[in-house]
Chain A
Amino acid sequence: MSRRALGTAVAVAALLTACGGNSNNTGSKPRTITVFAAASLTNAFAAEAAAYTKQSGVHVRFSFAGSQDLVAQLNQGAPADAVATADTATLGKLTVHLSGATTLFARNRLVIVTAPGNPKHIRSAADLAKPSVVVVLAAPTVPAGKYAVKALQAAHVTVHPKSLEDNVRGVLTKVELGEADAGIVYVTDAQSAGAKVGTVALPTSPIATYPAAAVDAAGQGFVDFLTSPAGQAILARFGFLPPR
């Protein structure tokens, strides 16, 4: 083996070793923590992080994705200090060891959103069954879709959706753009869209609960902050209900 070839081999080996290294620093107190959070928490958690950093000096960085994806990534060894999902069932699929107990920090419910100006005059869940109304829902494999199916069953309405979006934000986008006449999303999503969509109450909606858990000691502070009065006030501002 020539010297140059040996050099290349060593470089490749070094690269592989570096990639395999553990980025979690267990020694001194970390100044930045990583939180995996459900996509529907995006706006609220950005505000939570700002407040938490001001209070504790710890910076928070997020990985936002569908709850299912978060759990799958964690089970594959993704490094996180804490995790927050949009339903308890999904969090239950976590196979990694948690350092603390699961804490419910917020609740949410579904609402019907309509295209701007509500051109199809939707007043209740029953109107979603009309053939002329283009309805999109979240896919039943994601929590929002699962809840939507339950809500419509409870209202005894059979809906033929034009699309089953892979996440609840996709539903909102389609309605905002007027592509769909109506959709079912979380109250918090509707609130974030402001005047771009109209809302119609969905009384039969199940209540979604948001659990959070610390994966290691460093993440516990943030989980605790979520249930503190300051944390709860921020969640309320974004339309979340208190965890009872």
Chain B
Amino acid sequence: MTTQMFGAPIRRKEDPRLVTGGGRYLDDLGHDALAAAFVRSPHAHARIVDIDASDAIDVEGVVGIYVHEDLPRSVGEPMPLLIPHPTLTHGRTGYALAKDQVNHVGEAVVMVVATDRYVAEDACQRIRVSYEQLPVVVGIETARDGDLLVHDDVPGNVAAHMLQEVGDVDAAMAAAPHTLTLDLDIERSACMPMEGKGVYARWDTERGELRMYSSTQTSTGVRAAVAARLELPLAKVECIAPDVGGGFGVKIMHPWPEEVLVPWAARLLGRPVKWAEDRREHFISSAHERGQLQRVTVAFDDEGHLLALDVKFWHDNGAYTPYGIIVPIITSTQLLGPYKPGTYRCEFWSLYTNTVLVTPYRGAGRPQGCFAMERTMDAIADELGLDRAEVRSRNFILPTEMPWDHGLLFQDGRPLKYDSGDFPASLAKLKELVGWDDFADYRRAAEAEGRKVGLGIGCYVEGTGVGPYEGGHIQIETSGRVNVSTGLTSQGQGHETVFAQIVAQELGVRMEDVHVTTGDTRKMAYAVGTFASRAAVMSGSAIALGARKVREKALRIAADALEVSPDDLEIVEGTVRVKGAPATSMSLGTVSVLSNPLRYAFDEAAKAATQFAGTFDPDKPPVAEGEEPGLEGKGFYSPTQATFANGMHAAIVETDPVTAEIKILRYCVIHDCGTMINPMIVEGQVHGGVAQGVGGALYERMAYDESGQLLNASYMDFLMPYASEVPTIEADHLETPSPLNPLGIKGAGEAGCIPVTAVIASAIEDAEGFPITRMPISPYELWELRRRHADGEIPSLHRLSRTSSKEPSA
């Protein structure tokens, strides 16, 4: 039998190349290209009065300097609003080059094209732009006040106002024995891929064709966006994603201004042009996420069962809304996690500020929602004197209740309907892993040594694998080599490996014979992209379906040649053979030869495939009726809804009694993404996600000052955790297969980061004995909170005043 490939922790095929410097990233390409650089707004909100480039035009090596007025109609129009929504009543987008107003620091105003990036930056430095400064809107409170406006024609700075309600919240609230209100605050962070954005465009003047390389999560998206802007037929545009050094969401939204301008300049100049984003540009002109203020009012009974959940939140969407309101919609729906809310109402306002725009960042609104829900769960437990895990457990949706329809619309406009999951089993595993029931003893021992420790928990559900579709193409060459192509892109996830595992399993071929290509519009023009934890679910399923077609075809052709029934055949290690009589066999390469009758004999394989080879039946055409030449097949997968993965995390933290430094002593994860294709890769995803989550919980923030300047726009001051800050992650899995797709899989890409902020807040609160409502938190902020707590400004948790707590961890 063929070795089991699906489900095995196989080492990643791409790693030897990537870890030995063999990767080819955008800036490794196009050394002959001209370089673009941009003059960007130094002001958060200003009118452009004048642009004087006279000192720059003579810099040796400058090829062109462009402002908004130089752009033709389609290039100069406002950028597209990619995802409209009925509640997005005041959607606004910027221009490729600012027209007469800038709305955040970093907005592109002038493009310089020069022989290299050094010269281009020299010229940028000599361009003088004069501005008339306008009042600046920074921070959600300021935006919400609405006294100052980002866009004159957007009253109250409200881009969107959305409300969803299930059941009669007000009635349930009025009748409930207990209610609590929490005001919560979560700050901005950002994707920060190691490689920034970038585009390299070559224009073929004779053929009128554009080839682009883009550091993107969606090459089909870039292709369509640029073709539309440059008014080119789609057939004349191709886009290739080379190796991409991370995405995390920021490379799903296209077009960025530079991606319109650089291909436009390449066509205008008839020369290749490249732009590779630098780190400062990434900070001030890409995208951020996470910033929200939240108010949760919850009603519950004496046992801690939810009766009503009423959530209002204010979402900072930055200066523009090209990606619509996907992030707050996800917050408002995924906030519910594994729980039944009784009745639920969620109302949000998406607000403009004079800051970098907001688009999805790994987790995409879920970390904020999870924070709101899990802080609420801890508050209920404290109010009632119940164990925090027990309160969660009492509100779980049970396996017997699946599929569970919340009665809400999810981000894809389809019902929020959970397909699978076993939350009680996950929680039991987590409690066992972290030693939940023994923590009280641990805490007592620590306290005896003068140490402060706390235990935190957080649960989430993540809608993964959203549509609309992905495709997979599989082709077997006469050598037996299997070429697999899917249109979505790779940013290091291990697609070359997991897709090969699926094909190896489905076809019965060896891993080393399978070669996967992603993100090349020449090979697969129909694709959506890599985001929303969807690659394995979508492309994995499509590839499996395509492989099954190829398998059927191979068996059909081989059965004909071997004069047996297809049902009597199996494929083992690339050989089609008769079950029980393996000597009667032919390789898939030979089947490929048979599938493609040729007129000419180019080589040995082709010689065997000429129309004059083999048995000759004058009554049959060389290609059988209903067949196509070639041993290949294509599959597309388009689900009716997302599939819902879930996870539960727990952490033990220690806080220094004097300096308030925060250390994560243990971090435990139970993760359920259905059937795993490769557990090692899933675990890698979880580890990376937790690391990013730790950044969001303890280190990362966007420090805007009142004038809209980003004070920490470098890796010196924007604190992503190093390996030294990331705890050892103890992970275990539960596999509840999804009934929705052929492989039973659910997405895993974003999972790790979703609950971390909630978990760490829970643990710090448990260690400190007073509520933590604002994240991320640094030692000095915790120290300030202790001072305010000591001064009576912040109340203690109830558990401290209970003589006989029911919570084992108390």
> Is chain B a partner of chain A in the same complex?
no
